[in-house]
Amino acid sequence: MPFPLTETKPEIPELNTTQEFDSLLAEELVVIFKHSNACDRSWAAHGEMAEFHRDQPSVPLYLVSVLDSRQVARHIAAVSGVEHESPQIVVFRKGRVIGSASHLAVTANRLASIVQKS
């Protein structure tokens, strides 16, 4: 009897250096998701971002672990002008912030709305 097929969820790629983040700023569209492994609210947001990533895989989405990569999270805040919070999404178009959301507002629908408006 063959094994049943299971749906695999694509992983959200993780940024670990400021150089990796800086290299994305020239891209047409980039979404940064700041996530804390120690926060229940952030895990709920992670589920929302995984859903968005599964439904819209063509939208470049990257995760920054705020506990493991504090320097990257701070750098993003400095470059974007968006005060650091977690969980948080910051959406860039060609290096310019076009939208952001934090805490309970970090949802797949909110992100889709930001991406569609731009």
pLDDT for position 117: 83
- What is the C-alpha separation between 7 and 3, in angstroms, rounded? 13
pLDDT for position 114: 96
Q: Looking at per-residue confidence, does 52 or 6 come out higher? A: 52
pLDDT for position 11: 87
Domain coordinates in residue numbering, the chain: 18-117
Whether pTM > 0.75 for this model: the answer is yes
**What's the CATH fold of domain 18-117?**
Glutaredoxin (3.40.30)
- What is the C-alpha separation between 104 and 13, in angstroms, rounded? 22
- What is the C-alpha separation between 70 and 89, in angstroms, rounded? 15
Helices then strands, each counted (H, E), the chain? 4, 4
Residue 3 has pLDDT above 90, yes or no: no
- What is the C-alpha separation between 74 and 66, in angstroms, rounded? 9
Residue 103 has pLDDT above 60, yes or no: yes
Q: What is the rounded average pLDDT of the residues 40-67?
A: 94
Residue for token digits 């599964």? Answer: 54
Report the C-alpha dihedral over residues 77, 85, 31, 11, rounded to 10 degrees. 130
